[in-house]
């Protein structure tokens, strides 16, 4: 996507991409300049610190961070920047993402992380939430988001069940 990224999608491992790509797809659909990359809280802590510490100066308006298991990535990124962090609990192998959800949602007071649903729906909703954040100061984007909602509503209203 051309232009300086305004939204970042980061994840703890390449294996998170199958979930996190749903956030990227939303950003692409709305034409939001974005970047996506692997940043691990546990395995690349120095990179994580640098990434978070420079996020505001690079013009990022929010950071979507997905991780699975003991999912520290969103909380640690939020600890190092005041750019809003949207946390996506990635479905884990052992506990199906419940571990990820609790790790991300249960932030102690003082460092907030907005937490979304486990898995693909959460990633897509984090993308939509990022669009909504940007649409706050962008009337054209707000109209596109409203149009998306209208199309979605029309699709559901047209749903037919088998006789």
Specify binding-site residues. 13, 16, 43
Q: Please enumerate, by residue number, every residue annotated as part of a binding site for substrate.
A: 13, 16, 43
E strands, 69-124, in order: 85-90, 114-115
The two three-digit tokens of residue 47, written as one number: 């990179």
For ligand RP5, which is the closer residue by CB, 5 or 119?
119
Could you identify the residue written with the tokens 């037919």?
160
Is residue 16 at the binding interface for ligand RP5, with CB under 6 A as the rule?
A: yes
Distance in Å, CB of 109 to ligand RP5, minimum: 25
Q: Identify the residue among 8, 22, 68, 129 touching ligand RP5 (CB under 6 A).
A: 68
For ligand RP5, which is the closer residue by CB, 20 or 27?
20
Q: How many CB atoms lie within 10 A of CB 141?
A: 18
Rounded CA gap, 97 and 105, in Å? 12
Q: Identify the residue among 20, 36, 48, 90 touching ligand RP5 (CB under 6 A).
A: 90
Is residue 103 at the binding interface for ligand RP5, with CB under 6 A as the rule?
A: no
What 3-state class would DSSP assign to 70? Answer: coil
Q: Identify the residue among 20, 40, 122, 129 touching ligand RP5 (CB under 6 A).
A: 40
Q: Identify the residue among 55, 67, 101, 114 touching ligand RP5 (CB under 6 A).
A: 67
Span interacting with ligand RP5, options 13-21, 49-57, 120-128, 136-144, rule CB under 6 A: 13-21
The two three-digit tokens of residue 104, written as one number: 């991300």
Compute CA distances 74 → 40, 47, 151, whole Å. 10, 14, 32
Residue 89 bridge partners (DSSP): 67
The answer to whether the CB of 123 falls within 8 A of the CB of 116 is: yes
- How many positions of this chain bind ligand RP5 (CB under 6 A)? 11
Residues that bind ligand RP5 (CB under 6 A): 11-13, 15-16, 40, 42, 67-69, 90
């Amino acid at each position: 996507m051309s232009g300086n990224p305004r939204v970042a999608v980061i994840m703890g491992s390449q294996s998170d991409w199958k979930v996190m790509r749903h956030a990227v797809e939303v950003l692409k659909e709305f034409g939001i300049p974005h970047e996506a990359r692997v940043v691990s809280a546990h395995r690349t802590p120095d990179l994580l610190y640098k990434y978070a510490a420079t996020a505001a100066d690079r013009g990022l308006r929010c950071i979507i961070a997905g991780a699975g298991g003991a999912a520290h990535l969103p909380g640690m990124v939020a600890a190092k920047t005041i750019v809003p962090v949207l946390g996506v609990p990635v479905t884990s192998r052992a506990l199906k993402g419940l571990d990820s959800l609790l790790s991300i949602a249960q932030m102690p007071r003082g460092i907030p992380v907005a937490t979304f649903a486990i898995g693909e729906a959460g990633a897509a909703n984090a993308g939509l939430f990022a669009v909504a954040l940007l649409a706050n100061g962008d009337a054209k984007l707000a109209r596109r988001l409203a149009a998306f909602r209208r199309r979605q509503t029309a699709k559901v209203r047209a749903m037919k069940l088998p006789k």
